[in-house]
Chains A and B, each alone.
Chain A
Amino acid sequence: MSEPAQRHLILILARSFSSRLATPVFVVDAGGNVIYFNEAAERLLGQRFVEGHGMSPDEYGKLFQPSDDEGNLLPVAETPLGIAFTHRETAHGKLTLRSADGVLRPIAVTAFPLLAHTEELVGAIAIFWERPT
């Protein structure tokens, strides 16, 4: 039977919700690929969503170079977002990103997995904000 493409309703709601928040929000699918980030996130990341749409964890890991407060690079899987979509756990952490326009930005991140009714993972969402330097 034909199956027209459509995102899971949980993701549709997550995008709709995020698009109205003034807090930066980053939404990925179950594989960690970028499916949405809002305008507030665009400002912190130095990149527009239309430019970042579809990036894999490997791609945004290389682009944003997350690091701990000692300057050690962190694999995406060890960031709160990576923990959320890899281990299906909520996570919170402090790290530093290099925005696409080259600015180092210390941020705090809270991420959680998006589980549908049937408990399958459909994605993950990260809410983050810039820490005072």
Chain B
Amino acid sequence: MRLRFWGCRGSIAAPGPETMRYGGNTSCIEVRLDDGTLIVLDAGTGARALGHALAGETAEPIHLLLTHLHVDHIEGLGAFEPIWRRETELHLWGPASPVVSLDERVATYFSPPLFPLHLSEVPARCTFDDAPVNGRRIGSAMVRSDQIMHQGATVGYRIEADGRVLTYLTDHEPALGMDMDEVPTEWISGFGLAAGADVLIHDCQYTPQEYATRFGFGHSSSEHVAVFARRAEVGRVVLFHHDPMHTDAELEAIRDDVLVRWDVEPERCELAAEGAELQV
């Protein structure tokens, strides 16, 4: 499968000269399976450019896997061009709630006064499903989700396709109340999704010093990512959900810190960069 990053910033879009190299758009990743199936991970502001790029494409349906419904992960949905085409079949997946359906929760944002139209008014044929906990086939992939440590209902995804494994754990704080170096792996949030993955896309919003004042915010530091990657024995880590206050140079310092702590070859850890492609 092949990935393209359309947005990798966390919390709020952060365009500007100091974020040019890694980009300012919020979470959105295009995943192309070898059979042509299109999976989109989250619909942050990066979804606008992805939707534009898909304008001439007829590949359907589009599977949009939402990790959670914080604004930075769904605010690009209204600007995602395919949703305004009648012929589009858009299948949205997201964390289950025992109280409110996924479409109702998405519509909380996608409705007046926060958005001019209500979700039910879009011309695309939209279907909504709970993220598959026990595995669900999407094209040639088996996709599995699980709840992960973050505020509110939040899931991560494990996508197994074409003999490779991709795990997506954005907005994840597995170290909350936990010494990940000490506990058995079965007690680490996200471990079941990440174990042995060829590529792990993981939240790395903070430096260890910043984390000390952002405990419980739902995000990870470079120290946590290094420990998590080592314990999950992943092949490669892509650092994601960049803090909106971090410049390109600060992000690179965070990547270097992960490398030192994880103690692996440089090619096994990189920063997600808007526009970059990656073959899993």
Contact = CB atoms under 8 A, between A and B. Distances in A.
A118 B185 contact: no
B98 to A, nearest CB: 6
A22 interface: no
B196 to A, nearest CB: 7
Interface stretch (B56-64, B147-155, B204-212): B147-155
B79 interface: no
Interface in B182-197: 185-193, 195-196
Contacts of A7: 186-187
State which size class the interface on B falls in: 20 to 34
A117 B187 contact: no
Contact of A9 (B142, B147, B196): B147
Interface string B63-100: 00000000000000000000000000000000111100
Given A6-B192, A9-B189, A12-B187, A17 B160 contact: no
A20 B177 CA distance: 8
B192 A3 contact: yes
A16 B96 CA distance: 23
Contact of B133 (A10, A12, A118): A118
A117 B177 contact: no
B113 to A, nearest CB: 29
A117 B191 CA distance: 19
Given A1-B142, A19-B177, A6 B191 contact: yes
B146 interface: yes
B49 interface: no
B96 to A, nearest CB: 5
B185 to A, nearest CB: 7
Nearest to A2: B196
Nearest to B135: A1
A9 B153 CA distance: 11
A17 B98 contact: no
Contacts of B97: 117
B98 A9 contact: no
B98 A119 contact: yes
A92 interface: no
A3 B193 CA distance: 8
Nearest to A10: B147
Interface string A12-25: 11011101100000
Point out which of A6, A13, A116 has the most chain B C-beta atoms below 10 A from its C-beta: A6
B123 to A, nearest CB: 31
Given A16-B176, A16-B177, A17-B177, A5 B147 contact: no
B149 to A, nearest CB: 7
Interface centre among B135, B148, B186, B196 (most CB of A within 10 A): B186
A132 interface: no
Contacts of B142: 1
A71 interface: no
A53 B90 CA distance: 46
Contact of B149 (A1, A3, A12, A20): A12
Contacts of B146: 6, 9
A15 B96 contact: no
Interface of A: 1-10, 12-13, 15-17, 19-20, 116-119
6 contacts: A1-B135, A6-B188, A12-B149, A16-B176, A16-B177, A117-B147
Q: What are the 4 A-B residue pairs with the smallest beta carbon separation, nearest first?
A: A6-B192, A4-B195, A16-B177, A9-B147
Given A1-B135, A6-B192, A117-B153, 4 more contacts: A1-B160, A5-B192, A9-B189, A16-B176
